[in-house]
Chain A
Amino acid sequence: NAGVTQTPKFRVLKTGQSMTLLCAQDMNHEYMYWYRQDPGMGLRLIHYSVGEGTTAKGEVPDGYNVSRLKKQNFLLGLESAAPSQTSVYFCASRRQGWEMNTEAFFGQGTRLTVV
């Protein structure tokens, strides 16, 4: 029962390098999210997706791109990493709707350092 799995768990990048973070969920959830968490700033929404093939911008989308080619996977890309993107990244997924049992489930996070 994996739930939401993020890879990698840790990564160090040099400024200007690119990378992709992978989020995979096995709960058949329609909605998926990418957040970043910085000290004292809670979780800030980067991009989200309401279904396969659709994505939308969140609060802090600049410098990131996403793709959802398969329902179970949501990829977050950094084309040219900057030190300001040093953060902990969380992926989450949830069932469509707002009734009970539609809460978001989170992955374990990816700690990214850009030097």
Chain B
Amino acid sequence: EDKVVQSPLSLVVHEGDTVTLNCSYEVTNFRSLLWYKQEKKAPTFLFMLTSSGIEKKSGRLSSILDKKELFSILNITATQTGDSAIYLCAVMETSGSRLTFGEGTQLTVNP
């Protein structure tokens, strides 16, 4: 059974701090890993990673995948209160049908 584990489950920081969120996975036929941000309601897409070692970047957010060690990290630099959210990691297997999520990391950024 596919398994996705995120850590930490909860994190509280101050504005301006840099945070690193972790996602490890055990998937029989891994194809890609996705990161989502969930504020009040629906998760919104951040990144899709398919190749090891290639960093994806969007503003203050960046992410990288290590397919040998089976994990990904999501970095947020110079955090702002608007970054407060649940960050979800998901993996897609080769058939492309199932999308399995981890438990999420609840990030709180205090002013």
What CA separation (Å) do A104 and B96 show in the bound complex? 11
Point out the residues of chain A lying under 8 angstroms from B101, CB to CB. Answer: 35, 42-45
Query: B80 on the interface (CB 8 Å rule)?
Result: no
Having A33-B99, A102-B48, A108-B42, one finds 17 other A-B pairs with CB under 8 Å, namely A31-B96, A41-B103, A42-B101, A43-B104, A48-B99, A58-B98, A59-B100, A90-B42, A92-B99, A98-B50, A98-B94, A99-B50, A103-B34, A104-B99, A105-B45, A107-B42, A109-B41
Chain B, interface size category, equals 20 to 34
27 contacts between A and B (CB under 8 A): A31-B96, A40-B103, A42-B6, A42-B104, A43-B43, A43-B88, A43-B104, A45-B99, A45-B100, A48-B97, A48-B99, A56-B97, A58-B98, A90-B42, A94-B99, A96-B96, A98-B32, A98-B50, A98-B92, A98-B94, A102-B48, A102-B96, A103-B45, A104-B99, A106-B44, A107-B42, A109-B41
**Number of A-B residue pairs with CB-CB distance less than 8 Å in the complex they form:** 64
B104 and A48 form a contact (CB under 8 A): no
B48 and A100 form a contact (CB under 8 A): yes
Query: A50 on the interface (CB 8 Å rule)?
Result: yes
Query: B61 on the interface (CB 8 Å rule)?
Result: no
Q: Which residues of B contact A (CB under 8 A)?
A: 1, 6, 9, 31-32, 34, 41-45, 48, 50, 88, 90, 92, 94, 96-104
A98 and B45 form a contact (CB under 8 A): no
